[in-house]
A = this chain, B = another copy of it.
Amino acid sequence: MTPAPFAVADEELALLTDLYQLTMLQAYWAEGMEERATFSLFFRRLPPGRRFMLACGQQYAAELATRLRFREHHLKRLAGTGLFEEAFLAWLGAWRFRGDIWTLPEGTPVFANQPFMEVEAPIAEAQLLESLVMNLVQLETVLASKAVRVVLAARGRPVVDFGMRRMHGIDAAVRGVRAYRTAGLEGTSNVLGGLRHDLPLRGTMAHSYILAHDDEREAFHAFARRYPGTTLLVDTHDTLAGVRKVIDLMAEAPETGIGAIRLDSGDLGQLARESRALLDAAGHPEVKIVASSGLDEWQIAALLEEGAPIDVFGVGTEMGASSDAPVIDLSYKLVEYAGTPRLKHSPGKVNPPGRKQLFRRYDEVGRYAGDTLALRGEPGIPGEPLLRPLVRGGEVTREEMALAAGARERVQEALARLPAALRELDPGDAGYPVALSPGLDALVRTL
Protein backbone atom coordinates (compact mmCIF):
# COMPACT_ATOMS: atom_id res chain seq x y z
CA MET A 1 0.00 0.00 0.00
CA THR A 2 1.44 3.38 -0.99
CA PRO A 3 1.28 5.58 2.08
CA ALA A 4 -1.07 8.53 1.82
CA PRO A 5 0.76 11.84 1.49
CA PHE A 6 1.02 14.10 4.53
CA ALA A 7 1.64 17.49 3.03
CA VAL A 8 -0.51 19.12 0.36
CA ALA A 9 1.14 19.31 -3.05
CA ASP A 10 0.95 22.41 -5.26
CA GLU A 11 -1.04 20.55 -7.85
CA GLU A 12 -3.84 19.92 -5.33
CA LEU A 13 -4.37 23.55 -4.44
CA ALA A 14 -7.25 24.11 -6.85
CA LEU A 15 -9.23 21.73 -4.63
CA LEU A 16 -8.40 23.71 -1.51
CA THR A 17 -11.59 25.73 -1.61
CA ASP A 18 -15.02 25.86 -0.05
CA LEU A 19 -17.60 23.62 -1.66
CA TYR A 20 -19.91 26.54 -2.36
CA GLN A 21 -17.36 28.11 -4.68
CA LEU A 22 -17.68 25.09 -6.95
CA THR A 23 -21.46 24.86 -6.73
CA MET A 24 -21.71 28.59 -7.45
CA LEU A 25 -19.33 28.15 -10.37
CA GLN A 26 -21.54 25.46 -11.81
CA ALA A 27 -24.53 27.74 -11.39
CA TYR A 28 -22.76 30.66 -13.10
CA TRP A 29 -21.72 28.29 -15.87
CA ALA A 30 -25.25 26.94 -16.32
CA GLU A 31 -26.78 30.41 -16.20
CA GLY A 32 -24.29 31.71 -18.73
CA MET A 33 -23.03 34.34 -16.30
CA GLU A 34 -19.69 35.25 -17.81
CA GLU A 35 -19.46 38.98 -17.24
CA ARG A 36 -16.49 40.48 -15.51
CA ALA A 37 -16.66 40.80 -11.76
CA THR A 38 -14.45 42.64 -9.29
CA PHE A 39 -13.84 41.26 -5.81
CA SER A 40 -12.11 43.30 -3.15
CA LEU A 41 -10.04 41.85 -0.29
CA PHE A 42 -10.05 43.92 2.92
CA PHE A 43 -10.75 43.68 6.63
CA ARG A 44 -13.57 45.52 8.32
CA ARG A 45 -11.96 46.13 11.70
CA LEU A 46 -8.48 46.11 13.10
CA PRO A 47 -7.99 43.52 15.86
CA PRO A 48 -8.29 45.05 19.35
CA GLY A 49 -5.15 46.93 20.32
CA ARG A 50 -3.81 47.15 16.78
CA ARG A 51 -3.63 50.38 14.82
CA PHE A 52 -2.26 49.02 11.54
CA MET A 53 -1.56 45.72 9.88
CA LEU A 54 1.15 44.86 7.36
CA ALA A 55 -0.45 43.62 4.15
CA CYS A 56 1.45 40.45 3.31
CA GLY A 57 1.03 37.38 1.18
CA GLN A 58 -0.99 38.99 -1.59
CA GLN A 59 1.77 38.80 -4.18
CA TYR A 60 2.35 35.18 -3.36
CA ALA A 61 -1.37 34.49 -3.58
CA ALA A 62 -1.69 36.37 -6.87
CA GLU A 63 1.12 34.38 -8.42
CA LEU A 64 -0.38 31.12 -7.21
CA ALA A 65 -3.75 32.11 -8.70
CA THR A 66 -2.22 32.10 -12.16
CA ARG A 67 -1.06 28.51 -11.69
CA LEU A 68 -4.21 26.85 -10.35
CA ARG A 69 -5.50 24.01 -12.51
CA PHE A 70 -7.96 21.17 -12.00
CA ARG A 71 -6.43 17.84 -12.99
CA GLU A 72 -8.25 14.78 -14.24
CA HIS A 73 -8.05 13.08 -10.84
CA HIS A 74 -9.48 16.16 -9.14
CA LEU A 75 -12.44 16.09 -11.50
CA LYS A 76 -13.00 12.42 -10.73
CA ARG A 77 -13.08 13.15 -7.03
CA LEU A 78 -15.52 15.99 -7.59
CA ALA A 79 -17.68 13.75 -9.76
CA GLY A 80 -17.88 11.39 -6.81
CA THR A 81 -19.74 13.99 -4.78
CA GLY A 82 -22.73 13.67 -7.13
CA LEU A 83 -23.10 17.45 -7.26
CA PHE A 84 -21.55 18.21 -10.63
CA GLU A 85 -22.50 17.60 -14.26
CA GLU A 86 -20.01 16.02 -16.57
CA ALA A 87 -20.08 19.00 -18.94
CA PHE A 88 -19.36 21.37 -16.06
CA LEU A 89 -16.45 19.25 -14.91
CA ALA A 90 -15.03 19.31 -18.43
CA TRP A 91 -15.33 23.10 -18.34
CA LEU A 92 -13.64 23.12 -14.92
CA GLY A 93 -10.79 21.09 -16.38
CA ALA A 94 -10.16 24.00 -18.74
CA TRP A 95 -10.62 26.63 -16.02
CA ARG A 96 -7.75 28.95 -15.46
CA PHE A 97 -7.43 32.44 -14.12
CA ARG A 98 -7.15 34.89 -17.02
CA GLY A 99 -8.05 38.07 -15.18
CA ASP A 100 -6.27 40.97 -13.52
CA ILE A 101 -5.13 41.27 -9.93
CA TRP A 102 -4.29 44.60 -8.37
CA THR A 103 -2.45 44.47 -5.07
CA LEU A 104 -0.82 46.69 -2.51
CA PRO A 105 2.90 45.97 -2.43
CA GLU A 106 3.66 43.47 0.33
CA GLY A 107 4.71 45.09 3.57
CA THR A 108 2.44 48.12 3.12
CA PRO A 109 0.72 49.21 6.35
CA VAL A 110 -3.06 48.90 5.89
CA PHE A 111 -6.05 50.07 7.84
CA ALA A 112 -9.72 49.05 8.06
CA ASN A 113 -11.70 48.81 4.80
CA GLN A 114 -8.65 49.26 2.59
CA PRO A 115 -8.30 46.81 -0.30
CA PHE A 116 -5.12 44.70 -0.20
CA MET A 117 -6.12 43.19 -3.48
CA GLU A 118 -8.78 43.65 -6.16
CA VAL A 119 -9.43 40.74 -8.49
CA GLU A 120 -11.13 41.41 -11.84
CA ALA A 121 -12.09 38.58 -14.13
CA PRO A 122 -15.09 36.73 -15.54
CA ILE A 123 -17.03 35.97 -12.38
CA ALA A 124 -16.24 32.26 -12.30
CA GLU A 125 -12.53 33.00 -12.28
CA ALA A 126 -12.60 35.69 -9.64
CA GLN A 127 -15.08 33.81 -7.42
CA LEU A 128 -13.00 30.67 -7.22
CA LEU A 129 -9.98 32.48 -5.79
CA GLU A 130 -11.86 33.59 -2.68
CA SER A 131 -11.17 30.82 -0.16
CA LEU A 132 -7.56 30.09 -1.04
CA VAL A 133 -6.53 33.73 -1.39
CA MET A 134 -8.08 34.58 1.96
CA ASN A 135 -6.34 31.66 3.64
CA LEU A 136 -2.95 32.60 2.16
CA VAL A 137 -3.14 36.35 2.74
CA GLN A 138 -4.54 35.97 6.22
CA LEU A 139 -1.66 33.84 7.43
CA GLU A 140 1.13 36.12 6.33
CA THR A 141 -0.68 39.31 7.27
CA VAL A 142 -1.43 38.04 10.77
CA LEU A 143 2.10 36.79 11.36
CA ALA A 144 3.94 39.78 9.88
CA SER A 145 1.69 42.21 11.77
CA LYS A 146 2.44 40.48 15.06
CA ALA A 147 6.14 40.13 14.33
CA VAL A 148 6.58 43.81 13.50
CA ARG A 149 5.27 44.67 16.98
CA VAL A 150 7.94 42.43 18.47
CA VAL A 151 10.57 44.08 16.28
CA LEU A 152 9.40 47.53 17.39
CA ALA A 153 9.44 46.49 21.04
CA ALA A 154 13.04 45.26 20.73
CA ARG A 155 14.16 48.80 19.72
CA GLY A 156 16.81 47.72 17.25
CA ARG A 157 18.00 44.61 19.08
CA PRO A 158 17.85 41.51 16.85
CA VAL A 159 14.77 39.31 17.14
CA VAL A 160 15.06 35.66 16.13
CA ASP A 161 12.13 33.33 15.38
CA PHE A 162 12.14 30.21 17.56
CA GLY A 163 8.47 29.39 16.96
CA MET A 164 8.32 26.60 14.37
CA ARG A 165 7.11 23.99 16.87
CA ARG A 166 4.17 26.10 18.02
CA MET A 167 2.96 27.35 14.64
CA HIS A 168 -0.17 25.92 13.06
CA GLY A 169 1.17 23.13 10.90
CA ILE A 170 3.67 22.81 8.10
CA ASP A 171 2.63 25.61 5.79
CA ALA A 172 2.30 28.17 8.59
CA ALA A 173 5.77 27.27 9.81
CA VAL A 174 7.38 27.64 6.39
CA ARG A 175 5.47 30.62 4.99
CA GLY A 176 5.57 32.20 8.41
CA VAL A 177 9.28 32.73 7.87
CA ARG A 178 8.45 34.67 4.71
CA ALA A 179 6.25 36.96 6.81
CA TYR A 180 8.93 37.26 9.49
CA ARG A 181 11.49 38.23 6.89
CA THR A 182 9.16 40.98 5.69
CA ALA A 183 8.54 42.15 9.25
CA GLY A 184 12.25 42.58 9.95
CA LEU A 185 13.29 39.61 12.05
CA GLU A 186 17.01 38.99 12.08
CA GLY A 187 16.96 35.21 11.78
CA THR A 188 15.07 31.99 12.34
CA SER A 189 15.71 28.61 13.87
CA ASN A 190 13.50 27.06 11.17
CA VAL A 191 15.77 25.31 8.68
CA LEU A 192 13.37 24.77 5.77
CA GLY A 193 11.65 28.11 6.28
CA GLY A 194 14.92 30.00 6.46
CA LEU A 195 16.45 28.26 3.45
CA ARG A 196 13.35 28.72 1.35
CA HIS A 197 12.61 32.30 2.31
CA ASP A 198 16.12 33.59 2.74
CA LEU A 199 16.27 34.44 6.42
CA PRO A 200 19.54 33.54 8.19
CA LEU A 201 19.47 30.34 10.27
CA ARG A 202 20.13 30.70 13.96
CA GLY A 203 20.32 28.14 16.71
CA THR A 204 21.67 27.48 20.12
CA MET A 205 21.23 24.20 22.03
CA ALA A 206 18.43 22.48 23.93
CA HIS A 207 18.20 21.39 27.55
CA SER A 208 18.17 17.81 26.29
CA TYR A 209 21.76 18.20 25.08
CA ILE A 210 22.88 19.28 28.53
CA LEU A 211 20.85 16.58 30.27
CA ALA A 212 22.16 13.83 28.00
CA HIS A 213 25.67 14.59 29.29
CA ASP A 214 26.71 13.56 32.75
CA ASP A 215 27.34 17.15 33.67
CA GLU A 216 26.81 20.63 32.28
CA ARG A 217 30.48 21.48 32.09
CA GLU A 218 31.17 18.50 29.90
CA ALA A 219 28.28 19.44 27.63
CA PHE A 220 29.50 23.05 27.33
CA HIS A 221 33.02 21.94 26.49
CA ALA A 222 31.95 19.46 23.85
CA PHE A 223 29.58 21.87 22.14
CA ALA A 224 31.81 24.93 22.30
CA ARG A 225 34.84 23.13 20.92
CA ARG A 226 32.80 21.96 17.97
CA TYR A 227 31.09 25.31 17.37
CA PRO A 228 33.43 28.17 18.24
CA GLY A 229 31.46 31.37 18.82
CA THR A 230 28.32 29.43 19.75
CA THR A 231 25.58 30.29 22.21
CA LEU A 232 25.40 28.17 25.38
CA LEU A 233 22.15 27.54 27.24
CA VAL A 234 22.88 28.23 30.90
CA ASP A 235 19.61 27.60 32.78
CA THR A 236 19.31 23.81 32.82
CA HIS A 237 20.26 23.49 36.48
CA ASP A 238 21.19 26.85 38.04
CA THR A 239 21.55 29.85 35.77
CA LEU A 240 24.35 31.74 37.49
CA ALA A 241 26.29 28.55 38.15
CA GLY A 242 25.88 27.91 34.43
CA VAL A 243 27.30 31.35 33.63
CA ARG A 244 30.30 30.65 35.86
CA LYS A 245 30.93 27.41 33.99
CA VAL A 246 30.91 29.36 30.73
CA ILE A 247 33.46 31.80 32.19
CA ASP A 248 35.65 28.90 33.34
CA LEU A 249 35.38 27.32 29.92
CA MET A 250 36.59 30.51 28.24
CA ALA A 251 39.58 30.56 30.60
CA GLU A 252 40.42 26.92 29.90
CA ALA A 253 39.71 27.01 26.19
CA PRO A 254 39.88 30.58 24.88
CA GLU A 255 39.68 29.26 21.31
CA THR A 256 35.98 28.47 21.84
CA GLY A 257 35.25 32.22 21.76
CA ILE A 258 31.76 31.85 23.22
CA GLY A 259 29.45 34.23 21.39
CA ALA A 260 26.54 34.34 23.80
CA ILE A 261 24.70 32.73 26.66
CA ARG A 262 20.98 31.99 26.51
CA LEU A 263 18.54 32.48 29.40
CA ASP A 264 15.33 30.46 28.98
CA SER A 265 13.58 30.55 32.37
CA GLY A 266 13.22 32.51 35.58
CA ASP A 267 13.31 36.28 36.02
CA LEU A 268 14.98 37.17 32.74
CA GLY A 269 15.68 40.79 33.67
CA GLN A 270 17.32 39.96 36.98
CA LEU A 271 19.23 37.00 35.57
CA ALA A 272 20.42 39.10 32.63
CA ARG A 273 21.77 41.76 34.98
CA GLU A 274 23.51 39.22 37.20
CA SER A 275 24.88 37.28 34.23
CA ARG A 276 26.13 40.49 32.61
CA ALA A 277 27.86 41.46 35.83
CA LEU A 278 29.56 38.07 36.10
CA LEU A 279 30.67 38.13 32.47
CA ASP A 280 31.92 41.70 32.63
CA ALA A 281 33.77 41.08 35.88
CA ALA A 282 35.48 38.13 34.21
CA GLY A 283 36.55 40.37 31.32
CA HIS A 284 33.97 39.16 28.83
CA PRO A 285 31.93 42.18 27.75
CA GLU A 286 31.89 40.65 24.25
CA VAL A 287 29.71 37.69 25.29
CA LYS A 288 26.13 38.55 24.42
CA ILE A 289 22.95 37.62 26.26
CA VAL A 290 20.11 35.93 24.40
CA ALA A 291 16.76 35.70 26.17
CA SER A 292 13.83 33.44 25.33
CA SER A 293 10.92 31.82 27.21
CA GLY A 294 7.42 32.72 26.14
CA LEU A 295 8.33 36.30 25.21
CA ASP A 296 5.98 38.67 23.45
CA GLU A 297 6.21 42.36 22.58
CA TRP A 298 4.94 43.46 25.99
CA GLN A 299 7.48 41.43 27.93
CA ILE A 300 10.30 42.59 25.69
CA ALA A 301 9.25 46.21 26.19
CA ALA A 302 9.09 45.68 29.95
CA LEU A 303 12.52 44.04 30.05
CA LEU A 304 14.10 46.90 28.12
CA GLU A 305 12.23 49.43 30.21
CA GLU A 306 13.80 47.99 33.36
CA GLY A 307 17.20 48.14 31.68
CA ALA A 308 17.75 44.40 31.24
CA PRO A 309 21.05 43.98 29.35
CA ILE A 310 19.62 41.59 26.77
CA ASP A 311 21.18 41.70 23.31
CA VAL A 312 19.04 39.28 21.31
CA PHE A 313 15.46 38.09 21.78
CA GLY A 314 14.35 34.61 20.74
CA VAL A 315 10.59 34.63 20.28
CA GLY A 316 8.37 31.66 19.59
CA THR A 317 4.98 30.70 20.95
CA GLU A 318 3.25 34.05 21.22
CA MET A 319 4.43 35.31 17.85
CA GLY A 320 4.01 31.97 16.08
CA ALA A 321 0.23 31.96 16.30
CA SER A 322 -0.17 35.71 16.97
CA SER A 323 -1.89 34.62 20.16
CA ASP A 324 -3.59 37.92 20.95
CA ALA A 325 -4.98 38.29 17.42
CA PRO A 326 -4.73 34.96 15.58
CA VAL A 327 -7.26 35.93 12.89
CA ILE A 328 -8.32 39.05 11.08
CA ASP A 329 -11.78 39.82 9.92
CA LEU A 330 -10.81 39.46 6.27
CA SER A 331 -13.45 39.71 3.53
CA TYR A 332 -13.36 39.04 -0.20
CA LYS A 333 -16.45 40.75 -1.48
CA LEU A 334 -18.08 41.24 -4.84
CA VAL A 335 -18.00 44.98 -5.48
CA GLU A 336 -18.86 45.11 -9.19
CA TYR A 337 -20.47 42.80 -11.74
CA ALA A 338 -21.15 43.45 -15.41
CA GLY A 339 -20.07 47.06 -14.97
CA THR A 340 -22.48 47.73 -12.11
CA PRO A 341 -21.24 48.42 -8.58
CA ARG A 342 -22.65 45.99 -5.99
CA LEU A 343 -23.24 46.48 -2.29
CA LYS A 344 -24.37 44.20 0.53
CA HIS A 345 -26.76 45.97 2.91
CA SER A 346 -26.87 43.67 5.95
CA PRO A 347 -26.93 45.48 9.27
CA GLY A 348 -23.58 46.67 10.52
CA LYS A 349 -21.69 45.73 7.37
CA VAL A 350 -20.83 48.03 4.49
CA ASN A 351 -18.59 47.00 1.63
CA PRO A 352 -17.21 49.92 -0.36
CA PRO A 353 -18.56 49.21 -3.87
CA GLY A 354 -16.88 49.47 -7.24
CA ARG A 355 -13.32 49.14 -8.52
CA LYS A 356 -11.06 51.17 -6.31
CA GLN A 357 -7.69 52.76 -5.83
CA LEU A 358 -6.05 53.67 -2.54
CA PHE A 359 -4.16 56.96 -2.36
CA ARG A 360 -1.70 57.74 0.45
CA ARG A 361 -0.62 61.31 1.20
CA TYR A 362 2.63 62.30 2.87
CA ASP A 363 3.54 65.37 4.89
CA GLU A 364 6.52 67.62 4.20
CA VAL A 365 8.94 65.20 5.92
CA GLY A 366 7.52 62.16 4.18
CA ARG A 367 5.34 60.85 7.02
CA TYR A 368 1.93 59.34 6.24
CA ALA A 369 -0.64 62.10 6.48
CA GLY A 370 -3.78 60.22 5.52
CA ASP A 371 -5.37 58.00 2.88
CA THR A 372 -8.20 58.41 0.42
CA LEU A 373 -10.13 55.43 -0.87
CA ALA A 374 -11.30 56.36 -4.36
CA LEU A 375 -12.85 54.86 -7.43
CA ARG A 376 -10.33 53.42 -9.84
CA GLY A 377 -9.58 56.10 -12.42
CA GLU A 378 -11.20 58.88 -10.42
CA PRO A 379 -9.28 62.05 -11.29
CA GLY A 380 -7.85 64.65 -8.98
CA ILE A 381 -7.21 62.57 -5.88
CA PRO A 382 -4.04 63.68 -4.11
CA GLY A 383 -1.47 61.18 -2.94
CA GLU A 384 0.34 58.11 -4.20
CA PRO A 385 -1.83 55.39 -5.80
CA LEU A 386 -0.91 52.18 -3.95
CA LEU A 387 -2.75 49.41 -5.80
CA ARG A 388 -0.68 48.06 -8.69
CA PRO A 389 -1.65 45.63 -11.47
CA LEU A 390 0.47 42.62 -10.53
CA VAL A 391 -1.39 40.20 -12.79
CA ARG A 392 -2.75 41.17 -16.21
CA GLY A 393 -4.75 38.75 -18.34
CA GLY A 394 -3.73 35.86 -16.11
CA GLU A 395 0.00 36.61 -16.41
CA VAL A 396 2.21 37.99 -13.71
CA THR A 397 3.58 41.35 -14.88
CA ARG A 398 7.32 41.09 -14.62
CA GLU A 399 7.90 44.84 -14.17
CA GLU A 400 5.27 45.07 -11.45
CA MET A 401 6.73 42.05 -9.66
CA ALA A 402 10.11 43.78 -9.72
CA LEU A 403 8.56 46.97 -8.32
CA ALA A 404 6.84 44.92 -5.61
CA ALA A 405 10.07 43.29 -4.44
CA GLY A 406 11.84 44.52 -1.33
CA ALA A 407 9.01 44.03 1.13
CA ARG A 408 11.43 43.94 4.06
CA GLU A 409 12.94 47.27 3.10
CA ARG A 410 9.46 48.68 2.46
CA VAL A 411 8.44 47.81 6.02
CA GLN A 412 11.50 49.48 7.50
CA GLU A 413 10.78 52.61 5.50
CA ALA A 414 7.08 52.50 6.35
CA LEU A 415 7.76 52.24 10.08
CA ALA A 416 9.77 55.44 9.88
CA ARG A 417 6.91 57.15 8.03
CA LEU A 418 4.03 55.97 10.22
CA PRO A 419 2.70 58.58 12.65
CA ALA A 420 4.68 58.01 15.84
CA ALA A 421 1.61 57.15 17.94
CA LEU A 422 0.79 54.21 15.68
CA ARG A 423 4.17 52.66 16.39
CA GLU A 424 3.48 52.47 20.11
CA LEU A 425 2.51 49.04 21.45
CA ASP A 426 -0.48 50.61 23.12
CA PRO A 427 -1.50 53.44 20.84
CA GLY A 428 -4.44 54.53 22.98
CA ASP A 429 -6.96 56.36 20.87
CA ALA A 430 -4.56 57.07 18.04
CA GLY A 431 -6.15 56.46 14.67
CA TYR A 432 -5.22 57.13 11.09
CA PRO A 433 -7.33 59.30 8.81
CA VAL A 434 -8.91 57.43 5.92
CA ALA A 435 -11.41 59.33 3.79
CA LEU A 436 -13.67 58.34 0.94
CA SER A 437 -13.15 60.26 -2.29
CA PRO A 438 -16.03 62.39 -3.62
CA GLY A 439 -16.71 59.79 -6.32
CA LEU A 440 -16.78 56.81 -3.94
CA ASP A 441 -18.79 58.72 -1.36
CA ALA A 442 -21.38 59.63 -3.98
CA LEU A 443 -21.56 56.01 -5.14
CA VAL A 444 -22.08 54.70 -1.59
CA ARG A 445 -24.90 57.23 -1.11
CA THR A 446 -26.54 56.29 -4.40
CA LEU A 447 -26.58 52.59 -3.53
Binding site for B on A (CB under 8 A): 3-10, 12-13, 15-24, 26-28, 30-31, 33, 37, 39, 60, 63-64, 67, 77-78, 81, 83, 123, 127, 130-131, 134-136, 138-139, 142, 162, 164-176, 189-196, 201-209, 211-212, 222-223, 226-227, 235-239, 264-266, 317-318, 320-323, 326-327, 329-330, 332-334, 337, 342-349
Contact = CB atoms under 8 A, between A and B. Distances in A.
Nearest to A349: B265
A123 B206 CA distance: 13
17 contacts: A7-B12, A12-B192, A17-B192, A19-B190, A24-B206, A127-B208, A130-B206, A135-B167, A142-B168, A165-B332, A166-B330, A171-B172, A211-B334, A211-B337, A265-B346, A265-B349, A326-B326
Contacts of A60: 6
Contacts of A8: 7, 170-171, 174, 192
A348 B257 CA distance: 32
A138 B8 CA distance: 18
Contact of A171 (B169, B195, B334, B348): B169
B18 A162 contact: yes
Nearest to A348: B265
A187 B266 CA distance: 45
B207 A344 contact: yes
A223 B25 CA distance: 11
Nearest to A219: B27
A212 B175 CA distance: 34
B212 A337 contact: yes
A191 to B, nearest CB: 5
A166 B192 contact: no
B203 A26 contact: no
A380 to B, nearest CB: 29
A121 to B, nearest CB: 13
Given A16-B173, A67-B3, A169-B168, A23 B205 contact: yes
Contacts of A170: 8, 13, 16, 135-136, 169-171
A176 B130 CA distance: 19
B169 A175 contact: yes
A353 to B, nearest CB: 10
Could you say which of A6, A131, A164 has the most chain B C-beta atoms within 10 Å of its C-beta? Answer: A6
Contacts of A348: 265-266
A282 B313 CA distance: 65
Contacts of A19: 189-191, 194, 201-203
A168 B192 contact: no
B166 A167 contact: no
Given A3-B67, A16-B193, A266-B347, 9 more contacts: A3-B63, A16-B192, A24-B208, A27-B227, A31-B222, A139-B169, A165-B332, A321-B326, A323-B326
Contacts of A26: 226
A207 B172 CA distance: 29
A18 B194 CA distance: 10
A131 B162 CA distance: 10
Identify the 6 closest CB pairs spanning chains A and B, nearest first.
Answer: A19-B203, A168-B168, A169-B171, A20-B203, A208-B334, A134-B165
Nearest to A133: B165
